[in-house]
Amino acid sequence: MSEKKITAKERLAIPRQEMPAQNPAERIHNFNEVHLGYSPETAQMEAMRCIQCKDPVCIKGCPVNIKIDQFIKLIAEGDFLGAARKIKEDNVLPAICGRVCPQEDQCEKTCVLTKKYTPVAIGNLERFAADYERESGNVELPLVKPSTGKKVAVIGSGPAGLSCANDLIQLGHAVTVFEALHELGGVLMYGIPEFRLPKEIVRAELEGLKKLGVQFVTNSVVGRSVTVDELFEEEGFDAVFIGVGAGLPWFMGIAGENLLGVYSANEFLTRVNLMKSYDFPVHDTPVFNCKGKNVAVFGGGNTAMDAVRTAKRLGAEHAYIVYRRSLAEMPAREEEIHHAQKEGIEFMLLMNPVEFIGNDQQWLTGVKLLRMELGEPDDSGRRKPVPVPGSELILPIDMAVISIGNGSNPLIKQTTPDIEVSRKDTIVVDINTMATSKENVYAGGDIVTGGATVILAMGAGRTAAKAIHEKLMGTSQGFEEW
């Protein structure tokens, strides 16, 4: 198929192609993916909307600078495999990023059509190309350079670690990835639910890395099973990349937080996604039985949306988001908020929990909330919520999920004291190289930034891979003096 000749006017007249999705009434009863993907025809139609700017500003909006104009042109021309390969020059996990990247704040935000029209659906097209390639069974493995004889340990098999491992193996280094859990993929497996990111897709990406020769070691907690120093001294690694994520959930510190039925989002999602407790008792791990119950999720990020939509799918009668600011300040992606609303999630906005209430068996029965109003902007630039005196109310709930973010896991800090950390315990790095204060140790992803996005973690993994390569091959530009 080749691109039809159309005029600029016709091009601009094509409406943005929506991606078909499961009907909300249906999807709240299953864990299948919400979006169903573009057909080749729809994808080509959408790709034709791209006006192929001379200076494609969309690329600047992408943290890994995918050659967006070029891959879209290939889709428009019907060369879908070519498009997938073009994306993979810059992004190793396109099927994942096409699904979970906040495109509306990145590439699509900078798309020139955004001002007068609607932006090209870059994320949807990325996803289409990646899915097309995978489903065609025609996945082309990139060329691996001859062995350099250098060994690199990557700690953590989430997005940062996988992208770092991918680049390093292609450059000819031997790469071993250590994962703490029994399953690979990090937050892509335990955190993001099946209905937003099918696990089969993550497994396919992992298979690709295995084929390239990346070694994976599961059940290995760095800091406990083996320390960073031991990786150098006893296991002979030449460099270490730390991409362990932000693995310590925050609680709110209010009364009643340890009542039965109060969970962190990490625990709730890990039970459901990784341990498959939605399929109890076939799988042994139980989770709070949400059926017919009232569940409140506290927070307004993507994880909060994942948790509340999971509770709904597990049969919750009422599934609430309790958030202390308004919809406008919510950090979750618009798309996720929109999906949640369609699925009947109830938003309790401008509400702040002050106390959890339990019965005499210590089971949660409700939460005391305080109404808030928005005052002056705070440090984050968002208007600060201030309590309305005397506005307390009690919301009856059976389960609470706290989703207000994560701190840093203390294990590496405790066992590798010569890696400098910030006041918040995140690892301090040179942002140009992701080098830490310890020789030949690099870090990236949430352990550096605090809770952020998959694509930022991937970008950090790639920056580190480049710097590690230069350092090991002696071609660096003096970054190591940092």
Contact positions vs other proteins (CB under 8 A): 180-182, 190, 218-221, 224-226, 247-249, 251, 253, 257-258, 260-261, 263-264, 266-267, 270-271, 275-276, 280-286, 288-289, 361-362, 409-411
Q: Which of 159, 245, 235, 251 is nearest to 202 (CA)?
A: 159
Taking the least distance from each CB to other proteins, the nearer of 260 and 393 is 260
Using a 10 angstrom Cβ sphere, with 0-12 exposed, 13-18 middle and 19 or more buried, the burial of residue 389 is: exposed
Exposure string over 92-124, b if 16+ CB within 10 A, otherwise e = bbbbbbbbbbbbeebbbebbbbeeebebbbbbb
Taking the least distance from each CB to other proteins, the nearer of 191 and 444 is 191
What's the min distance (Å) between Cβ of 149 and other proteins? 25
Taking the least distance from each CB to other proteins, the nearer of 264 and 352 is 264
- Host H or E run for residue 204: helix 199-212
Taking the least distance from each CB to other proteins, the nearer of 81 and 248 is 248
What's the min distance (Å) between Cβ of 61 and other proteins? 32
Q: How far is Cα 407 from Cα 429, in angstroms, rounded to an integer?
A: 17
Structure tokens at 351: 């509400």
> What is the distance of C-alpha 473 from the center of its chain?
32
What's the min distance (Å) between Cβ of 374 and other proteins? 30
Taking the least distance from each CB to other proteins, the nearer of 124 and 270 is 270
What's the min distance (Å) between Cβ of 296 and other proteins? 17
Taking the least distance from each CB to other proteins, the nearer of 120 and 364 is 364
Q: How far is Cα 202 from Cα 481, in angstroms, rounded to an integer?
A: 37
Taking the least distance from each CB to other proteins, the nearer of 63 and 186 is 186
Residue 410 φ/ψ, nearest 5 degrees: -80, -5
Taking the least distance from each CB to other proteins, the nearer of 120 and 155 is 155
Q: Are 10 and 51 in contact (CB under 8 A)?
A: no
Q: How far is CA 408 from CA 157, 228, 254, 477, in A?
A: 16, 17, 21, 31
What's the min distance (Å) between Cβ of 269 and other proteins? 9
Q: Are 305 and 328 in contact (CB under 8 A)?
A: no
The contacts of residue 97 (CB under 8 Å, 6+ apart) are: 91, 123, 126, 454, 455, 458
Residue 317: other Cβ atoms inside 10 A: 12
> What is the distance of C-alpha 22 from the center of its chain?
22
Taking the least distance from each CB to other proteins, the nearer of 230 and 392 is 230
Taking the least distance from each CB to other proteins, the nearer of 260 and 394 is 260
What's the min distance (Å) between Cβ of 357 and other proteins? 15
What's the min distance (Å) between Cβ of 204 and other proteins? 19
Residue 225: other Cβ atoms inside 10 A: 12
What's the min distance (Å) between Cβ of 261 and other proteins? 8
| C-alpha dihedral (186, 279, 24, 395), degrees to nearest 10 | -90
What's the min distance (Å) between Cβ of 322 and other proteins? 18
β-bridge mates for residue 399, sequence order: 295
Q: How far is CA 181 from CA 158, 170, 186, 189, 218, in A?
A: 11, 26, 8, 10, 6
Residue 341: other Cβ atoms inside 10 A: 14
What's the min distance (Å) between Cβ of 284 and other proteins? 4
